[in-house]
Amino acid sequence: MDVIHTAVWVDNIERTIEFYTEGLELDVNWEVVNDGVQYVYIGGEHGEIQCKYDPDADYETGAAGGFDHIAIGVENTDEAFETLCEREDPPVHTPPITLSTMNRRIAFVEDPDGYVVELVQQLG
């Protein structure tokens, strides 16, 4: 398993991209729009920041108010989810589902401190 990204909500996607790419010289690795939300993955070889932007949303960003989740790469989302639930019985936010637009199978649970953890399996 690997940590693959930390997700944050942003209120100005262009400003955020400029900060990380021009200011910190990181790369935009890939982008996708899913259900009206723009996802921009910025980072390097060993991890990314998933910047989430929804022009219609009303949410607080900054000072960790926009923190969304930590993503962990797994070989098989269903197996990892079942094992984790058997061993730890975490609160479940989303049981395993497939996101065809992102070519991933995912699930969301909470860690002991209430942080949301996404289990991500790359499909195909």
For residue 7, is pLDDT > 90? yes
* Last-in-domain residue among 49, 67, 85: 67
Domain match, 4 and 61 both: yes
* Cα distances (Å, whole numbers) of residue 96 to 25, 51, 82, 107: 35, 22, 10, 4
* Mean pLDDT of all residues belonging to the chain: 90
| Residue 85's CATH number | 3.10.180.10
Counting every residue, how long is the chain? Answer: 124
Q: How far apart are CA 119 and CA 78, in angstroms?
A: 9
Q: How far apart are CA 99 and CA 90, in angstroms?
A: 22
Which range marks the domain in which residue 22 is found?
A: 1-67
* Last-in-domain residue among 48, 67, 86: 67
Domain match, 8 and 44 both: yes
Token pair belonging to 112: 């002991």
Does the active-site annotation cover 75? no
Domain match, 10 and 52 both: yes
Domain count along the chain: 2
pLDDT bin (cut points 50, 70, 90) of residue 120 is very high
> Parallel, antiparallel, or unpaired: how do β-strands 116-122 and 67-73 relate?
parallel
R_g (Cα) of the chain, nearest Å: 15
Domain match, 104 and 119 both: yes
- pLDDT at site 61: 67
pLDDT digits (tens, 9 = 90+) for 30-80: 999 999 999 999 997 788 999 999 988 877 766 567 888 999 999 999 999
Active-site residue, selected from the candidate residues 14, 45, 75, 118: 118
Domain match, 61 and 93 both: no
